[in-house]
Amino acid sequence: MAAYEYKALTVQGREEKGVLEADSSRQVRQILRDRGLSPLDVVVTSDNRAGSATDVFATWFKPSLSVSERALLTRQLATLIAAGLPIEEALLAVSKQSERQKTRGLLLTVRSKVLEGFSLANALAEYPAAFPNLYRATVAAGESAGHLDLVLRRLADFTESQQQSRTRIQQAMVYPVILFVLTVAILGGLLGYVVPDIVEVFADTGQKLPLLTVMVIATSDWVASWGLFAALLICLGVFGVTRLLRIPSIRMAYDRQLLHLPLIAKMSRGFNAAQFASTLSILSRSGVPLVEALRIAGEVVSNSWLKDKVREATVKVSEGSSLQSALEQSGYFPPMMLYMIASGEASGELDDMLGRVADHLQQDVEVLMNILLSLFGPLMLIVMGGAVFTIVMAILLPIINLNQLVA
């Protein structure tokens, strides 16, 4: 069976869209007629089409899932499978719970693959954007071990913790971003529109202007003449840097430098180490062999230089080295993490130790991030207040001097 997207008219003449499973488009049309609908268009979902000229382009636009959607979907699957439902029935039930048509089509396509004899992990590979490598490898480990419900439950916990961390950071950044935008807008408005009007008044008096006023007027003239061009140049510069960072050699050098910059290095190392440890922990708990788990966890690391070091450590572990020794030779992982890994290897509780160190590192990164964001707000207020005060003084000084001359 395959998943089909359809468009049909109701008795009232309203258009209805949806997804159905059937053996052919003819069967879908019959199902729609039995429901009292007039089918307009029935097509197999893009991910089930074979031999189409658009196959290459379709792979670029495969639907994805947000972190919260993936967590909810995983939690529902874990609950239904733990209740004894077969995988295909669990997928069908979860698809009916989804409000998004794209998600329903995605789940029904995965279900059709399972019905064809594919494992769940291989069926999920149809949507790499929705189910990343870590997710699929963990599901495969759960299937092979016969504990798919437990593995899915761990995956749901892991995904939900990721979503919570991301939400906290986003909420903490709202106030500083608003302040920054307001600061730029207020200063741009004052220098671009207010100051030029006042300058005309001073020009009519013919008096010599104070140095501060001359500087503010020069800045205002520059903003009025070149402000938009400068903003465009900044946007082009950001775009150019983004494109350059896609070149592997430049990205590698950039990421290496990030690991050595003051303050940024601590955040970058902590964030990447937490990602690595948490991923390795969940893979290890799910029964994935250590070398394979290291390979997958290394791909999750966002820093390309550190990712390369993890690959080197993976090779050393496959040659018989301990995990603690292999990671220590890279020189980029926190000592506390290495000590806990060594303790876990010695006691046979590596997965538990990795989970603890991941939580600790994540908390350290969040504390540091919160401190920086809490300092950014007052800093923006000081900058905005200082800039406005400077502009006001530049306007008041000529007025005060003019009053003294008149007196």
Say how far apart CA 46 and CA 306 lie, in whole Å.
Answer: 37
What is the reported pLDDT for 236?
93
State residue 15 phi and psi, 5-degree precision: -85, 135
Max avg pLDDT among 143-147, 169-173, 285-289, 291-295:
291-295
List the 2-9 sheet strands across, edge first.
15-22, 2-9, 38-44
Confidence of residue 205 (pLDDT cuts 50, 70, 90): low
Residues 6+ apart with CB under 8 A from 259: 265, 268, 269, 303, 305, 306, 332
| Domain spans, the chain | 2-44, 67-146, 147-407
The enclosing H or E element of 3 equals strand 2-9
- Give dist(CA 220, CA 390) in Å, integer: 13
How far is it, in rounded angstroms, from Cα 261 to Cα 250? 17
Is pLDDT at 60 greater than 50 in this prediction? no
Q: Is there a contact between 15 and 44 (Cβ–Cβ < 8 Å)?
A: no
Q: Is the pLDDT of residue 200 over 90?
A: no
Range with the poorest average pLDDT among 8-12, 73-77, 348-352: 8-12
**Fold classification of 147-407 (topology level):** Receptor-associated Protein (1.20.81)
In this structure, what are the phi and psi dihedrals at residue 165, rounded to the nearest 5 degrees? -65, -45
pLDDT tens digits, one per residue of 298-353: 877 888 898 899 999 999 999 888 889 999 888 888 888 899 999 988 888 888 88
Residue 237: the pLDDT is 92
pTM of the model: 0.64
Nearest-angstrom CA–CA distance, 102 and 104? 5
Q: Do domains 67-146 and 147-407 have the same CATH topology?
A: yes
Q: What top-level class would CATH report for the domain 67-146?
A: mainly alpha
Backbone angles phi, psi at 84, to 5 degrees: 100, 5
First to last CA, the chain: 95
Of 65-74, 175-184, 236-245, 380-389, give the range with the top mean pLDDT.
Answer: 236-245
Q: How far is CA 96 from CA 11, 86, 107, 380, 384, in A?
A: 23, 16, 9, 48, 52
**1-5, 95-99, 221-225, 254-258: the lowest-pLDDT one:** 1-5
Given this model, what pLDDT does residue 55 score? 43
Rounded CA separation 174/281 (Å): 32
